[in-house]
Amino acid sequence: MQQNKLTFESENLVVDYISFNIQGLGGRKQVERIAKYFFQILGFNSTFAKGSTGKEEDLFFDLRNQHQVSFRYYLYASEYTTYWSGTKVDFSGKNATQFYTLIKQQKFDWNIFDLSSTSLGRFDYYYFRSITDEHNDDKLKYFMQSSCDKILTNYKRRKATFGREETGYVTRIGSRTSSNYYRIYHTEQGLKFELELKNPLVKSFQSFLFNNQIEIFERKLALHFYKLSTNQTEINSPYTDWLVSWLREIIQKPDQNILETTYLENHRLLSFTERELIYNLFRVLAFLKSYEGKRKPTMINRDSYSTISFPLADLVNYLHMSKKNKRHIQKVSKMLQDFISLEPIIQTFSDTHFQALVFFTNVKVLPRGRISIVSMTLAEQLFSYNFPFYLTSYFNQWNNKYEFHVQFEILLIMSTLSLQKQLQVQQFLEQFNISNKKQTDIKRLIIK
């Protein structure tokens, strides 16, 4: 495994299902234009059907073609929470594998779809772990059952089932409507660890696919697959040796694409207000990543954004402030409004990808009865961005500006990739024109 360059090929990940939702594309004649392209240029036969129960009819067919794409038109699809009119384009099994290969080879012209009304509906991929003749049925059953029990024990709201079917043992984690639906299948040859991505989650990756940024797309999905597999399976098992190998690799070579604190190349030049605004940005992002409320997806310039709403009091509590204190409520409300002016400060981040993501298209604090509701629209990828640190309660409050500067400096140091964390105390103190007694007080804060 090459941790520095994760690809589906290097990690033996196989694409097993791809679907697109094209809103407004309806009727057989409109679909035939796209189907003809797949038939004549890419060598795919095609079928068309109406609704979830409609009978499939051939659009284009040639016995010499080995792959197929399915078009299904919906006036209303029950799997969606709102009325949706359009066509689903589905590639399953080897058809999905072949189509994704053509995308990687840049042989597919994305302009055949109207990308302004097209979204990635589902993406399945799996890792296959072969089983030798020395396989022990009791050990396999124990592993499958233990993976199920791990979820039921650690997550109260998450579903997990285990059972035996015709093909062998099957463990299912999540439901068919889950954004992450994870399954472990037992076959005659081995175990298939498969992840099915849907809903706003899969849409957060689609811009990389649509823009042929395959290296970024595969790296993000590979990391997502590994991290989810680590949480979903019984790790102390011979059947997850491939997962343990990855964990050892990432411990030896930390992820090079996470956000380092070199993001602030000239942070010494920032004013106290600007530092505080950036510091608050990370505190709010930590809150949003942990918040379990629903997100409403939207597309802006072909990029995925989400609008999330929550009571202002929830954020106030998270920041260890009092929701009964009017001054605290006003302070947090102003902090959120200040995010609109982040753009010039964000230019100090050396991570240009992060610069592009941190853009708040909408921040509102609106009264609703006796409470205030926050509505924020931000890039979907921010919800899964890798930060190399955790903001504990220590970082949620400070009594004076010197205590804030100490916390800010510690955050910068702790989030570097180096195993050795060093704070140059004298260099840090030189930025302040203060007495020796005050310097001693600050040193105590650092030790604390």
Q: What is the pLDDT of residues 75-89, one digit of tens each?
A: 764 555 455 689 999
Q: Which comes out higher in pLDDT, residue 238 or 356?
A: 238
Q: What is the pLDDT of residues 246-304, one digit of tens each?
A: 876 654 444 443 334 344 444 555 677 777 777 788 778 778 877 767 778 777 666 67
Q: List the single range of 69-73, 185-189, 349-353, 391-395 with lowest mean pLDDT.
A: 349-353
CA torsion 339→342→343→348, rounded to 10°?
Answer: -150
- Report the pLDDT value the prediction gives residue 232, as an integer from 0 to 100: 86
- Report the pLDDT value the prediction gives residue 414, as an integer from 0 to 100: 62
The domain spans of the chain are: 13-207, 261-447
Q: Which comes out higher in pLDDT, residue 316 or 261?
A: 316
